[in-house]
Amino acid sequence: MKQDSAYTKNNAIRKSKKDEGFTLIEVLIAISIFAIGMLAVATMQISAIKVNSNAGKITTRITWAQDKLEKLMALPYTDSQLQAAGSPFQETTSDGYIVSWTVTDNTPITNTKLITVTVTGREKTTRVSYVKPSMS
């Protein structure tokens, strides 16, 4: 009976030593996998920040273009800002964007004006067009 208990003790000692913890190689592999995952997430974050920044700039240019186009649409058909002879017109916004517009008479059909607003800034350009009909 004593031999059985000695065998059980030795077996228990061997198992507990084997299950004590992680080896250095296991820890290094786990840290490496974790680091690669974190680098992937960091790269994704940088990409997302760049895309959001570009989207904000596009939104700003579109907003300036639409704002100017709405003001021009509200003017009478014969207003001086809607004369093709004075085209192109230009303004600079408070935040440094250049808003310019051109007017082309009788385009695409007679008794209409094609108004094209161009906003330039932050090394990009955005264009918005509208056809204003004559009300006479």
Domain count, the chain: 1
123 pLDDT band, cuts 50/70/90, is: confident
- What tens digit of pLDDT does each residue of 69-91 get? 999 999 999 999 999 888 789 99
Q: How far apart are CA 95 and CA 2, in angstroms?
A: 91
Looking at this protein, which amino acid is placed at residue 97? Y
**Predicted pLDDT of residue 98:** 96
Q: Which domain holds residue 47?
A: 2-133
30 pLDDT band, cuts 50/70/90, is: very high
Alpha helix positions (H), 19-135: 24-74
- 13: helix, strand or coil: helix
Q: How many CB atoms lie within 10 A of CB 62?
A: 13
* 133: preceding bond cis by omega (within 30 degrees): no
